Every structure is written in C-alpha cells, then in structure tokens.
Amino acid sequence: MSEAVQPRTVLASSDSAPEGRARVAIQKVGRFLSGMVLPNIGAFIAWGLITALFIPTGWFPNESLATLVGPMIKYLLPLLIGYTGGKMVHDTRGGVIGAVGTMGVVIGTDIPMFLGAMIMGPLSAWVLKQFDRAVEGKIRSGFEMLVNNFSSGIIGGLLAIGAYAGIGPVVESINKVLASGVEFLVNHHLIPLANILIEPGKVLFLNNAINHGVLGPIALEQSSATGKSLLFMLESNPGPGILLAYWVFGRGMVKQSATGAIIIHFLGGIHEIYFPYILMNPRLILAVIGGGVTGTAVFSLTGAGLVATPSPGSIFAYIAMTPKGGYISMLSGVLAAAAVSFLLASLLLKTSRQTAEGDLESATEKMKRMKAESKGQPAASVASPAASAVTAAPASGVKKSKAEVAKIVFACDAGMGSSAMGATILRKKLGQAKANVKVINTAIGEIPDDADIVITHRSLTDRARLKVSTAEHISIDDFLRAAEYDELVRRLGNTDSDS
C-alpha cells in the first residue's frame, strides 16, 4: 500500500471505531461549552483585574471599587454566558431569551451560576426555536412583531420561573458536589493526578472544553470566595519544556521551527502549537504528563492560584491574573513543569528509535485532521500534490482585482488564536509591500459583510462562505506557513515586484 493511501485507511478505521466516535462526540460537546465562554473572556479578565487590584488583599485596596466584584461574578458573567449560548442556538432572539432563562438560575441560588448559565442559555433558545418553527408561515400578516415579542416574553418568563424553582437548586447541588470533590483532592494533595487525564485530553483538542467547560466554572466560584484558585492553572500552564527539548536535541526543520513555537506557546499562549511535536513522537505524552503533574504539585504545595482565567495561557496572562504575593509560587510551578517536561522529553528523544528530526509535516497534517474533527468538520484526507494545488486556489473560484480589495479577514472558531497569528503575518508582509489593505481577524460567526477576502482553514471555509458569500474565500492548511500569503502580496502590493 502506498504512503498516500495508508493514512486515509488508518483515518477511516479510527473514525469508525467506537472510541473514535466517542472522542468526536466529546469534542463537539466541549466545543459548544467553550464557545459560550471564549467570546466573553475579556469580561472575565476585567473581573479578574478588578478583583486583583481592589479587594482588601489586592494591590490597591479600594472599598468602593471592590463593590464591582460581587455583582460582576454573580450577574454579569453568567448572563453573558447565557446570552452567548442562546445566540449560538437561535441567533439574537435566542441570545435574549437565553439571558432571561439564565436569570432564573442566577437569582435562585447563592453561588455564581456558570454551570446553570451553560444549561439555561442554550436550552431557552432551543425551546424558543421549536416554537418559532411550529408557527412559521402560520402568523397573519401584520401580527408578526406582536407574536414574536410576546412569544419570547411569555416563554422566557416561564423558563426563568422554572429555572428559579427547579434547575437552579439542582445545579447548585451538583456544583457543591464537584467543589467538594476538588476540595478533597486539594486537601489530600491528589490534585496533581488530574494532569494524567488533562494532558492527553489537550492533545485531543479537548483543551478548551477542559479549561472553560469544566475547570473554569468551579474555579470562578473558588476565586470569588477565597480570591484565587489553583484550578485555573491545571490546563493552562505555559511551561514550554517539550519545545525546548526539540530545540536542543532536534535537527533540521524541527529544530528550526521549535524556536518560533516556544515564543508562540510561552508568550502568545497558543498551546496547539506544540501538539504536532507530540503527535510526531507519541511517547512524549509521558513528558507533558510528568511536567503537568510536577507543575500542579508545586502550585499546590506553595499555595499558588490565579484570580481569573488566563486566556490565552500565556505567561503574560499568568502574571496579570496572579494575586498580590503569589508570583514566586506561580513562577516556581511554571518553571518546574518546564524543567521536568524538558528532561523527560530529552531522555525520550535521545532513546527513541525515531530520529530527532522526525516528520513534522506528517504530524502537523495529523493534527489538522484531529482539529477539524474537534470542530465538527469532515477530516481531510492526505492529498496528493495535484490535489493540494487545487485546494490552494480561492474557494470561491473568483479572484478579486487589486482595486476591489480593501479588507482581508482571517477567521477561526474563536477569532483569537490561529487567525490572529495569520493576520499578523500577512499584515506585516503587505506593509512591506506598501499595500493599502486592512487586515483583521475575527471569529467565524462574526465575519463582517464588507470583507473582500476571507482566509480560513480549509475545514471552516464552507461555514465562512455561508456567512459572506460575496467575498473571495481562500482556504489554507497552516496559518503560520501559507504560500497563499506571498501570492496575495504579489497581487495587492505596490512594489516593483507586482505582477
């Protein structure tokens, strides 16, 4: 069997296996949960900064400004999650009723109701969506606004009452059980064992689900009570030990690429950058597990914690979210995780039968397939060079002329990670070519209507085309190294090399 066919056969068999289907199902749920949180990360950071600065133990204690902390975590943040979850299900109309339903669980309990918001936001929007489908085409002309407004008001009110009386207390009980379990692990110094599950889960693209869907809600409740939480640090530790090992012991392209990957991971907080390096040599999962367990153990023993979610998981975010007096314990855990994962990865690389140079391109392609699956997209097979040439063409099939292009939009799921890196790279290239073109990045669901060119990973292009059909769409495989960037620069630049 040829090398071009074998990966497709393996992929098909893995997808059909029960464990493959289970992994994709978990990824879909995790993607939905994290999708409710990621657009609101700025609000969480704002709350974290206000908490770190103005509470009695903060850097600049201020009794008046500290009064913002309680209402923000009890009302603002859950309502934002509920609105976002509802909007994901039924657009703005779903967002509004999602917030109304969420208010029921917020008022019906005494704790920050993030889990309740993740339930009531989408559930409320789904109920309204079913009603809208049932009455579609049956409303007499002229009464549409009346029916729409009163239906959402009546259904929203009933859902809020139901959430207040029923769902809120149930979720509060579940939350208390989860919190008690976490407290048990912390008190018995067992919390580092969580990284045995967390680290492999990250490589399977469950990182956002783990961080924002599971750990985040419990951590925020702990932070509101004690001013910090260790749980914020379990998944997001930015220690780049694996990449350091490849930088020291790798060869060829792997060694060269590791340098930039370290910067993107440690400073930029984009953890997906190191996943291909592990997929290239799966034994290295032991190194990240060892580093994760060590870092969390140091955090636990030294009493480390952050006041809010460090997103993205950058050392700068860690510094910003660390409470007063907590920097030594925070840095100790990050450095310990990096040191242990570096030592273990170095040992595994030196004793591996594989070369330290590895096959980064194949591992990256495998990562792209896994990421596509995690986003609910069909996993792309390994294409031949001829097929690659076809996918490199604009997905819309129509190139816009230089005079027609004023705005280029990079889009990814959250609009903060890979698309931001791609936009920065192209913006710099176009600036050097003196091209007067605006380049921005955004979430796939928020692509502006005036976009002239939209650049996405090929697994997202169909969704982007549905969002803005009039734009030229370009599919790429790698936001960091795309040949399409240079082709755009030649098309749009104002240098002597223009074609």
Residues recognised as catalytic:
412
Is the four-CA dihedral 240, 260, 46, 174 of positive or negative sign?
A: negative
Decide if 435 contacts 492 (C-beta within 8 A): yes
Decide if 237 contacts 321 (C-beta within 8 A): no
For residues 39 and 413, what is the distance between their CA atoms, to the nearest angstrom? 10
For residues 297 and 188, what is the distance between their CA atoms, to the nearest angstrom? 11
Decide if 436 contacts 465 (C-beta within 8 A): no
What is the SS3 string spanning 331-371? Answer: HHHHHHHHHHHHHHHHHHHHHCCCCCCCCHHHHHHHHHHHH
Distances (CA, A) of 353 to 3, 138, 148, 251: 20, 69, 65, 15
Decide if 300 contacts 189 (C-beta within 8 A): yes
Residue type, position 42, single letter:
G
For residues 302 and 20, what is the distance between their CA atoms, to the nearest angstrom? 39
Decide if 96 contacts 149 (C-beta within 8 A): no
Decide if 430 contacts 493 (C-beta within 8 A): yes
Q: What is the CA radius of gyration of the chain?
A: 24
Question: What is the edge-to-edge ordering of all strands in the sheet holding 453-457?
Answer: 438-443, 407-412, 453-457, 472-476
Is the four-CA dihedral 442, 447, 452, 458 of positive or negative sign?
A: positive
Distances (CA, A) of 105 to 25, 47, 91: 27, 21, 22
Residues in Cβ contact with 84 at an 8 Å cutoff, skipping those fewer than 6 apart: 35, 36, 37, 39, 40, 95, 98, 121
- For residue 67, which of 50, 43, 87, 89 has the smallest C-alpha distance? 50
Q: Count Cβ atoms below 10 Å from residue 294 Cβ, excluding itself.
A: 24
**Terminal Cα-to-Cα distance of the chain (whole angstroms):** 43
Specify which residues 411 forms β-bridges with: 442, 456
For residues 471 and 451, what is the distance between their CA atoms, to the nearest angstrom? 6
- Provide the token pair at 215: 């750990």
